[in-house]
A and B are shown apart, each in its own frame.
Chain A
Amino acid sequence: ETVMTQSPAILSVSPGERATLSCRASQSVSNNLAWYQQRPGQAPRLLIYGASTRATGIPARFSGSGSGTEFTLTISSLQSEDFAVYYCQQYSNWPPITFGGGTKVEIK
């Protein structure tokens, strides 16, 4: 099973600032990585697939990068609606599909 590790667990950021979230895979997943946003009380929402392709309707302030075992999600200028939990997910070595433990982006 491919273990996904996200860091930090909690990221405190001021509105308008840049947020950088990390995701590490225990073995190479190539670029088979997705990112999701989950707001309180809601289902996860797909942000990024293929490590760097934004899903339909996702604002350009969200960007993904990386390949192999190291990945980054960057939010260029945090808006109020961006304060949420973010999960990475690999789909290279499955089953099982595996998720990271999440990074909570909170208001500083």
Chain B
Amino acid sequence: QLQLQESGPGLVKPSETLSLTCSVSGASIKSTSYSWGWVRQPPGKGLEWIGSMHYSGSPYYNPSFRSRVNMSIDTSKNQFSLTLTSVTAADTAVYYCARRGSPVVAFFWIDPWGPGTLVTVSS
């Protein structure tokens, strides 16, 4: 069964870089046509898609983050990562890693999701 697990610092200082990793078990990141990505949720608020990428393709980012975000995939570790630069308090959120639910590029529902990790931006 496919499982995702986020990891990374729970506290980041303002203006610094947020870095998270998602470990994938139960399937190989490079064995399928699925893409992998991130969604975040500020405390008490709704969901915001950050971006996604396929192991052999270019990433797609939400324009709201484009200048600050970078995603990468490490197939040797079966992991993918998110970095978000110049963070502010507004970046405080639960960050979820997730997989596109269909191997077809045009069909972008999200399934499954990792359990999420809270990242707080504070000095």
A residues at B contact (CB < 8 Å): 1, 32, 34, 36, 42-46, 49-50, 55, 87, 89, 91, 94-102
Contacts of B109 in A (CB 8 A): 34, 46, 49, 89, 91
11 A-B interface contacts by CB (under 8 A): A32-B108, A49-B102, A50-B107, A87-B46, A89-B109, A91-B108, A96-B63, A97-B62, A97-B108, A99-B46, A101-B46
Contacts A32-B107, A91-B108; A98 near B49 (Cβ below 8 A)? yes
Dominant SS among interface residues on chain B: loop
Chain B count of residues within 8 A CB distance of the other chain: 24
Interface stretch of the complex, out of B13-21, B70-78, B112-120: B112-120
Contacts of A43 in B (CB 8 A): 96, 113-116
* Cβ-neighbour of B110 out of A1, A50, A89, A102 (below 8 A): A89
18 further A-B contacts with Cβ under 8 Å, apart from A46-B109, A50-B107, are A32-B107, A36-B47, A36-B110, A43-B113, A43-B115, A44-B110, A49-B102, A49-B111, A55-B111, A89-B109, A91-B108, A94-B60, A94-B108, A95-B62, A95-B63, A96-B63, A99-B46, A99-B49
Dominant SS among interface residues on chain A: loop
